[in-house]
Amino acid sequence: MKQRHGKIAERISTIFNYFTGHDISNFTSYNKFTSLMFTSVDGSSLGICRMLFGIMMLLDITEERGGSDLDLRWGEIKDCRFPLFSFIKAFSLAKMGLIYFLMWLGCIGIILGYKFKSSCLAFVITYWYIFLLDKSSWNNHSYLYGLVAFIFLFTDAHHFCSIDSWSYKLNSTSVPFWNYFLLKFQFFILYFIAGLKKFSFEWLNGYSMTNLSHHWIFSPFRLLLGAELTNLFIIHWFATLFDTSIVFFLIYKKSRRIATFFAIAFHLMNSRLFNIGMFPFVCVVQLPLFYEHNWPRTLWRKLKCSSCRPTDERNEKRVVLERTLSFSNDTKKMEEVEFRSKKRCTLKEKFTTLLILIYCCLQLLLPYSHSLTKGYSNWRHLYGYSWDMMMSEWSTMLVSVRIVDNGNNKQHFMEPLAFSDSYRWTQYPDMTYQYAQCINQNLIRDFYENPNTLLSSDNFSIYFDIWSSLNGRFQQRVYNPTVDLVRSEWHPFVEPSFILPLLSDLTHLKREIEEISREVYSWSNSSDLLFIADFPGLSLDNYIPPIMDNVTLTVLSGIVKFEQENDTSTITLSQGQSIHVKSGVFHKVTTVSDTPSYFLYTYINSTHQFNDVQNSAESQKHEMQTKAIFSTLAQELRARYENYKKFFYHVANSFLFEFYSVPMPRRLREFHDM
């Protein structure tokens, strides 16, 4: 029996070594694992990845970090910020320009490997400060940049192809194996957790990215499968398979090249599909981490030898010599691992290994921390550190900000983007609460600083009425419009009282709803519809523009009371009943049933009533293709060049203001529609 178990263990060890290149015994004890982490390996691959990552961050500064729009992002003192912690405050515009410049210098130092630790620290501190200062700009890949930079800070990535290695004459280009392990683990988490999050009903049924299949990228797939199957198989199922498996194929040596091809194609497609900055390119330039640690030296040696054009005999000798050296290196590495495993690890090495394991555990647990951090969760309980790549598709119909001056009990309606440049705050309760508090502070400041203000007191109530749809559901209220957010409470670990639940009672009728939609769209090219859901006791005040004709309201579930402007009559509608709605006037729909109501509007846009269906569809298709085709590399490079010109212009103005008190020119932000 012992002999049989021994053979099974040996077989498992052989398979593990075959697929990963590591002996499974290195993971059987803390001492052996520590020895593996501190095994010396070639640092050339790490050095190349360091340089490429720095270049990507250099481009990111002027784009997603907002370096080219410093004046718009940080210039207005009344603008509302959404920091993770309330004590984090923004500096003046000029000082923010200097902070951005320090981050830029950190990138340059990372690329050149000059004073690497100091450069990396400068980038990490400034990056995370700007990142934590405003949650409205958060994306999963924004976390990734900060985490990778944080890992690089503790590595010896400057031991190869760097000014430090030349100026300080570093004798060895070797680095501890954990330098590679931690970076590869971070990208494993990125892909694998994103794949696990996709194992949900909505994603696997193709409800999350419903319109993506019409993009020109998927034209070949649409020819073979059609739009619906392309949406289901290619966009949803293949993305799930890719995310959960790609790292395993990258680790396995024999599948590494084909996996690299698929990974590059996948990320380049994403760069065309989504506005996600440098994220696809960061993932691409870090793929070499999964190759041999000395691949840059091997590549250089091959290029050098090929330039010499050796004879067949010399070529044969060179190949034999390379194989001998490769075998010798592998043998030497195995002997070193075996020697280190027998050698007693130092206390410092064991402590470092403990920190590595703690970091890995945090990366595994944090994406699932939403059951604890309920104050940040939206309908899907996915927000912030979750790696939920493109899991949710939001469609916002209405954002209303109602302010009540409690001094004279007068109501005022405010432009939703008066103090913010993004509607991102509408989707998450923590930012919604912060925005209400910020508006209140601005109103109080305006009351005391502006004597001509129409405000009668410094006592205000603020109510938000926000209607959104998640993944093709009915449009519904996100927050309770009767709750005063100035006086409400918010806590990071308690579910907010002002958020309304996601209405999914008719989810099982999704197919029937799709059939209704197809029928309405078949009426004419200008016919459209809108699905609405509302809670008992609440009213929807709606205005139908004159350009809308043949507007009909139909109740699908529940009971509503319908009232129309200039009409004293009140009509009660129940399931299946409809009513014609006049254009150019307000009407009110109140839910009077004990359960939520579900209803829909069907209408015709008269301005497009005489458009031909086929011509309109072809025009839309041509527009998407033209937009994609003309988004060429040359145009993107030109745009990045212009962004850098604006960035250095802002930085120069920051220096002139701080050191010579020269006034800073600043643009004004324009309001934009949803």
Tens of pLDDT along 360-372? 999 999 988 887 8
Q: How far is CA 444 from CA 151, 257, 436, in A?
A: 44, 62, 12
Lowest pLDDT segment from 77-81, 98-102, 391-395, 398-402: 391-395
Measured distance CA(406)–CA(457) in Å, rounded:
7
Q: Which residues contact 69 (CB under 8 A, 6 or more apart)?
A: 646
Question: What CA–CA distance (Å, rounded) separates 309 from 43?
Answer: 29
Determine contact, residues 475/469, Cβ cutoff 8 Å. yes
pLDDT at 507: 67
Query: If pLDDT is split at 50, 70 and 90, which confidence band does 311 have?
Result: very low
Predicted pLDDT of residue 343: 63
Residue 327: predicted pLDDT: 46
d(CA 579, CA 561): 11
Catalytic residue status for 198: yes
The answer to whether 119 and 103 have CB atoms below 8 angstroms apart is no
* pLDDT score for 118: 96
Mean pLDDT, the chain, rounded, equals 85
Question: How much helix, strand and coil, in percent to the nearest 5, is found in the chain?
Answer: 55, 15, 30
CB 144 within 8 A of CB 32: no
Q: What percent of the chain has pLDDT over 90?
A: 53
Residue 334 tokens read as 């195995």
Q: Is 7 exposed, middle or buried (CB count within 10 Å of its CB: 0-12, 13-18, 19+)?
A: exposed
Sequence-separated (6 or more) residues with CB below 8 Å from residue 432: 425, 426, 464, 466, 478, 479, 485, 498
Query: How confident is the model at residue 484, as a pLDDT?
Result: 96
Contact predicate 591/573, CB 8 Å:
no
Residue corresponding to tokens 């309770």: 480
Predicted pLDDT of residue 227: 87
**Residue matched to tokens 């996709």:** 198
Taking 50 as the threshold, does the pLDDT of residue 430 lie above it? Answer: yes
The Cα 254–Cα 176 span in angstroms is 25
The dihedral formed by the CA atoms of 571, 574, 576 and 580, expressed in degrees to the nearest 10: 20
Give the integer Cα–Cα distance in Å for 97 and 126.
11
Interhelix angle for 239-251 vs 178-197, to 10°? 160
The answer on pLDDT for 42 being more than 60 is yes
What does pTM read for this prediction? 0.88
Tell me how far apart the alpha carbons of residues 518 and 527 are, in angstroms, rounded to a whole number: 10
Per DSSP, 19 falls in state: H
Sheet holding 527-534, edge to edge: 527-534, 597-605, 548-557, 578-581
Q: What's residue 615's pLDDT? A: 42
Domains located in the chain, CATH noted: 393-508 (no CATH), 526-610 (2.60.120.10)
**DSSP, residue by residue, 519-583:** HHHHH-TTEEEEEEEE-TT-EEEEE--TTEEEEEEEEEES-EEEEETT---EEEE-TT-EEEE-T
The pLDDT of residue 45: 95
Spatial strand order in the sheet of 586-591:
539-543, 586-591, 560-564, 570-573
pLDDT at 575 over 50: yes
| Residue-level pLDDT at 131 | 94
- Assess whether pLDDT exceeds 50 at residue 620: no
**Comparing 301-305, 475-479, 481-485, which segment has the lowest mean pLDDT?**
301-305
One of 117, 197, 198, 317 is an active-site residue; which one?
198
**3-state SS string for 340-402:** HHHCCCCHHHHHHHHHHHHHHHHHHHHHHHHHCCHHHCCCCCCCCCCCCCCCCCEEEEEEEEE
* Integer angstrom CA distances of residue 372 from 365, 376, 495, 498, 663: 11, 10, 9, 18, 47
374 CB neighbour count, 10 Å cutoff: 16
How is residue 573 written in tokens?
A: 């509608």
CB-based contact 168:54 (threshold 8 Å) = no
pLDDT digits (tens, 9 = 90+) for 598-610: 999 999 876 654 4
Q: What is the DSSP letter of 309?
A: -
Q: Which two tokens stand for residue 328?
A: 């010798």
Q: Is the pLDDT of residue 619 over 60?
A: no
Is a pLDDT exceeding 60 seen at residue 62?
yes
Task: Give the H/E segment covering residue 656.
Answer: helix 633-660
For range 60-86, the mean pLDDT: 92
